[in-house]
């Protein structure tokens, strides 16, 4: 039941505009998230005993910080101009309490690796399906020069696709079969990213893809594995970059021209407008430094959020809010960097761990892509928050499995940790 609920949740987050209840985007996704949290409660005690100390510490720190953000957001209803909009910030954090415990509970069951692989494949399938809908203009996914897909804005579609792209790439290089099909999936998601017209997320998606293959090449070189694959990757990388550039130029000339203007030092309208929006948001934060204007509140009549995660937290929740968000992001970034470095420089116990190592790299890049995208495109809104929590939950699983393999514990690791139960006390 829990696994089915998580799979349905993944399907629903790709259609926030089509799963609205009472006019609110993503309402069905939020209800599914609550259900996942409730169902996974019965497995909390067993899951706590199976978590590695580091993974339990990360989950505890992140979810505890998230809980404080929820409390601040609810308190801001007392003074916010539009109290109902404060729930947007709450919804975004609730996804973390649903996804991380649920994925952890699923992973500790028999055949947990198979179940997690099913979750990853569902994520890939939905990213490809959404990209195909955008490419052919089916239903609400019509395309002019910016495509929203089934999201409210094209930036949200770009965030979702740029977060999913490293997962597709990781599955492509780690899979022993269906590689041609997965290559087609990679091309389809890149096409969807081009069609979205989101310049920031196109750059992040392509750069993230290049970063993943670059890190993977280092991984192969250090282990003296597949020298042919390293050579092919070195030759293919610039070709893929040029192909992506040409695809953007011919399929979305408006986005290409604006991106070329920015890269040449010119001032694109979107950049200028964001700078003004950030300036206004900082001024609002300075006017209300300790409480902010209230979670989820729009920036006047200009924009629904500040288009920057930290500035938006400062504007809406003041210094306490931006401090909490900074702590959460810092903890996650340190964990991501540690996971990548450990994968690159720790010795394997055998080739059986290669797939796990590759997925650690892929999920790490996916998490980083989402964080980077929220500095320009979104501000951790409820329509895209799941694309942060899901890759993070997958990274926690793969990193935990990697630790057990690196310590030689194989498929039956002893994962007990005192800090583990703290994950389920918050």
Rounded Cα distance, 334 and 278, in Å: 26
Residue 192: predicted pLDDT: 86
Whose structure tokens read 């070329």?
260
Task: Identify the burial level of 143 via C-beta atoms within 10 angstroms of its C-beta, where 0-12 means exposed, 13-18 middle and 19 or more buried.
Answer: buried
DSSP string, 306-349: -SSHHHHHHHHHHHHHHHHHHHHHHHHHHHHHHHHHHHHHSPPS
Report the alpha-carbon distance of residue 88 to residue 415 in Å, rounded: 36
* Cβ–Cβ < 8 Å for 374, 171: no
Burial class (CB in 10 A: 0-12, 13-18, 19+), 319: middle
- What's the pTM value of the predicted model, to 2 decimals? 0.87
pLDDT at residue number 254: 65
Per the listing, tokens 């931006």 go with 322
Residue 24 three-state SS: strand
- Phi, psi (rounded to 5 degrees) for 11: -60, -45
pLDDT in tens, the chain (426 residues): 778 888 989 998 998 766 554 445 556 788 888 888 777 766 655 665 677 788 888 988 999 999 999 999 999 999 998 898 888 888 889 899 889 988 988 888 788 889 999 999 999 999 999 988 887 776 554 555 677 878 888 888 999 999 999 999 999 988 878 888 998 999 899 888 888 878 888 888 888 988 898 898 888 887 776 666 666 666 666 777 777 767 766 666 666 666 666 666 555 556 667 888 888 999 999 999 999 999 989 988 888 888 899 999 999 999 999 999 999 999 999 999 999 999 988 765 455 578 899 999 999 999 999 999 998 877 788 889 999 999 999 999 999 888 887 665 554 444 434 433 443 343
**Can you tell me whether residue 246 is helix, strand or coil?**
helix
CA angle 423/383/366 to nearest 5° reads 65
Identify the residue whose tokens are 């601040």.
Answer: 72
Spatial distance between the Cα atoms of 9 and 386, rounded to a whole number of angstroms: 9
Going from the C-alpha of 316 to that of each of 14, 285, 320, 325, the distances in angstroms are 27, 7, 10, 12
pLDDT for the residue numbered 69: 95
- Phi and psi at 299, nearest 5°, equal -90, 85
How is residue 356 written in tokens?
A: 């796990």
Cα 33 to Cα 97: distance, rounded to the nearest angstrom: 8
Is the Cα dihedral 175, 180, 182, 186 positive or negative? positive
* DSSP string over 75-123: HGGGT-SSGGGHHHHHHHHHHHHHHHHHHHHHHTSTTHHHHHHHHHHHH
CA 59 to chain centre: 16
Report DSSP state, residue 380: S
Nearest C-alpha neighbor of 69 from the set 380, 389, 321, 375: 321
Render the burial of 377-415: b for 16+ CB within 10 Å, e for the rest: bbbbbbbbbbbbbbbbbbbbbbbbbbbbbbeeeeeebeb
Cα–Cα distance, 72 to 318 (Å, whole number): 10
Q: Is the dihedral of CA 225, 231, 233, 234 positive or negative?
A: positive
Q: Residue 303 pairs with which residues in a beta bridge?
A: 299
Cα–Cα separations (whole angstroms), residue 139 to 134, 143, 148, 152, 172: 9, 10, 11, 14, 29
4 CB neighbour count, 10 Å cutoff? 10
- CA angle at residue 398 from 397 to 401, to 5 degrees? 90
Structural domain count of the chain? 1
């Amino acid at each position: 039941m829990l696994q089915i609920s998580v799979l349905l949740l993944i399907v629903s987050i790709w259609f926030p505009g089509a799963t609205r209840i009472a006019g609110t985007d993503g309402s069905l996704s939020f209800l599914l998230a609550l259900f996942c949290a409730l169902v996974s409660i019965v497995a909390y005690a067993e899951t706590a005993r199976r978590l590695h100390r580091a993974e339990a510490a990360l989950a505890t720190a992140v979810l505890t910080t998230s809980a404080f953000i929820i409390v601040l957001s609810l308190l801001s209803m007392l003074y916010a101009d539009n109290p109902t909009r404060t729930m947007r910030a709450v919804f975004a954090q609730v996804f973390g309490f649903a996804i991380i415990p649920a994925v952890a509970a699923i992973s500790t069951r028999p055949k947990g690796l198979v179940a997690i692989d099913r979750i990853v494949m569902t994520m890939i399938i939905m990213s490809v399906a959404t990209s195909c809908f955008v490419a052919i203009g089916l239903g609400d996914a019509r395309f002019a020069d910016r495509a929203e897909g089934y999201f409210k804005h094209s930036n949200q579609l770009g965030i979702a696709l740029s977060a999913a792209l490293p997962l597709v790439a990781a599955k492509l290089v780690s899979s022993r079969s269906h590689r041609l099909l997965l290559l087609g999936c990679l091309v389809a998601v890149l096409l969807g990213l081009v069609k979205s017209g989101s310049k920031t997320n196109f750059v992040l998606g392509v750069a993230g893809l290049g970063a993943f293959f670059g890190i993977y090449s280092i991984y192969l070189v250090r282990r003296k594995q597949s020298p042919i694959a390293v050579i092919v990757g070195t030759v293919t990388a610039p070709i893929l970059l040029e192909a992506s550039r040409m695809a953007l130029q011919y399929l979305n000339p408006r986005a290409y021209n604006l991106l070329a203007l920015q890269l040449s030092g010119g001032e694109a309208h979107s950049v200028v407008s964001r700078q003004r929006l950030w300036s206004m948001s900082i001024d609002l934060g300075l006017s209300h430094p300790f409480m902010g204007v209230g979670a989820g509140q729009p920036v006047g009549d200009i924009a629904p959020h500040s288009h920057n995660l930290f500035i938006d937290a400062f504007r809406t929740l003041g210094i306490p809010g931006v401090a909490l968000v900074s702590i959460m992001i810092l903890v996650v970034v340190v964990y991501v960097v540690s996971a990548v470095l450990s994968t690159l420089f720790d010795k394997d116990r055998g080739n059986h761990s290669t797939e796990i190592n590759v997925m650690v790299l892929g999920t790490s890049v996916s998490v980083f892509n989402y964080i980077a995208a929220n500095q320009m495109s979104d501000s951790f809104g409820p329509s895209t928050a799941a694309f942060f929590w899901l890759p993070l939950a997958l990274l926690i699983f793969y990193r935990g499995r990697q630790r057990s393999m690196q310590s030689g514990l194989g498929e039956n690791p002893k994962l007990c940790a005192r800090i583990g139960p703290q994950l389920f006390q918050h």
